[in-house]
Structure 1
Amino acid sequence: MNLLITTFLLLLGCSAVISDAPEPSYRLSKDVTPTSYDIWLRPYLLASDGERRYTYNGEVNITLQYSKGREITLHKNIVNITSTWLYKYNNNTPVAIQTFGTRELIYDNITQKLTVPLKENLDQYEKYMLRFGFLGQIRDGMQGFFRVNYTNENKREKWIGVTQAQRIDARSIFPCFDEPEFKATFRLELSRPTQYRTVFNAELLESIPDASSFNRYLDIFAATPPMSTYLFAFMVTEYVTYGNDDLKVITRVEHQNYTRFAYEVAQRALKAFDAYTQLPYKQLGLPQMQIATSPKFAHNGMENWGLVIYKEEVLVHMPDYNDGWSDKEYTLNIIVHETAHMWFGNS
């Protein structure tokens, strides 16, 4: 009996100690908030890239609104920070005011919070820019920036890069304030091999030779409207695109003729929501809608604003395989659902 009482008291004491342990704080402070992200990425997908294959170089400039505090805390996961600078805007020109060694940064593996300690308080309500250089991994799962392979019509293996930032995987693509409440605009510049093409939430402005790398082009995209990080999306593929200025389909060349039903459904869904809400899609903030296929994807579809990514079987109907009415009903339901998010959730 004494042994049982002693054991009970020990367990009770242990539970008291455990209950006193503070819970990790996962939410970010609102002392510093982002207003825009300017992102540059150079992914390596080719066998000729050698040891760099399935990695990427990146830089992000985050424009911030500062209110108080001696630190800036945001999120990161997997990416390795190589450089950090803080700038203050002077007549809309950023001027460097502080640099940080990687050992000065504080990282919490549990909460995935990255803290940049400031040497002194900043000027309240002024605009600043936090810049990171980093290295990332093109992952083999289906989160963040990941890679997918398929066999094309010539029986050759192809690799593409796809993103899935929802729920908390934008932070594994670039350092960011990865909570839905922190909405900001996003601009993207993507360096790609010449045989690849890229797409992003917003429209492509221009493609120019990448001056810093042979046999690559730099695709420069317009800015998105203010949106949450989980909607950030891009793809690096050898796909083809068809459609018009309102709606485009992005898919494998061998699947182009088998996505016509999906294209018609997406067209009708956009028109129906335009009429129902009396708020045309183009007035929400982006001029075009793009729907894209991925051979592997974590969900039936993901409502990234302006670039909805679907599993191939949702958009592609192969004759005598998955072109029956039940398959088309499935396609119709998924496309209408994801399209609705442009009005309900995204904007």
Structure 2
Amino acid sequence: MQHPLRTALVTGSAGFIGFHLCQRLLEEGWLVIGVDAMTDYYDVALKEARQAQLLQSNHFRAVTERIETPGLLEGLMADHRPDAVIHLAAQAGVRYSIEAPESYVESNLIGTFRLLEAARSHPPAHMLLASTSSAYGANTDMPYAETQKADTQMSFYAATKKANEAMAHSYAHLYDLPTTMFRFFTVYGPWGRPDMALFKFTRAMLEGEPIHVYNHGRMKRDFTYVDDLVTGIVRLVDAAPVRPHSEEEIAEGDSLSPVAPYRIVNIGNSEPVPLMQFIEAIEAALGQRAEKIMMDMQPGDVPATWADTRLLRRLTGETPATPVRDGVARFVAWYRDYYRV
């Protein structure tokens, strides 16, 4: 399929989601400029292996730099004039944000500021920036809808992402930059991050070690398979928001800003799965039982997430639907192959 937008700038291109997104864009005929700092927050070799796959395409260019480097994004956008900018680069992780908050300021706040400034000088047709379901914070009214007030973030990671939303809205309003913010819900799948539960549980079980189950297993997550997530992102590229002339133009349930070409969109499976059921899916895929150590809730964590995805369906025509059991089995197959276990 040939896409009407020809060049995409993707930040975080060697990351878990960025890698899968770049692969899909390349398959659909895009030229992709991928920016990734290859930081050592987790195994750099895994990032290098992802990037090596992308470099097999002569339509992919890798730029190994930090996004907060002054002038970097400005220069790339001046040189390549991307039609779409998809901003995934960030210091990730709720728990790590308690240990090393400054790295979140540098990457998530300053890095996003550099991107917004570059877009102001060289406006793309559509800016698409990653946020997180963690932005809903202490909200308990579920499923989470994009029109809900979200002012009670419970981790510094979530706070930086909510700040990104506010920063991007101001630039969309001031400089007429069509901007979509995604709130991702617990993404998992092949090539996933080693700091996430699926990876940690699988590794521990294969090594004969116990797994740590937080909140004594009383957690629910809206687990979203990475291929479904990428489909949502790619479909939304063509759904750039348009500044409304009046609030009456905004459909019920649409998070479109009344004063900017700006919208927040959930991308989730819209099916909260109990953590113990998720662990059972891993056990089934591995053919073995996990030894479980029950733990208290960790600081900054929330007991449940659940996405209202009606807006995503209205904008793209479909929503994520891969069953957790299938997605987990695909991850385990990848893990066994990649690590030869």
With a CA cutoff of 8 Å and minimum separation of 6, indicate the structure with the bigger relative contact order.
Answer: 2
Question: What TM-score does the superposition give when structure 1 sets the normalisation length?
Answer: 0.23
Q: Is the helix fraction higher in 1 or 2?
A: 2
- Greater radius of gyration (CA): 1
Question: What TM-score does the superposition give when structure 2 sets the normalisation length?
Answer: 0.23
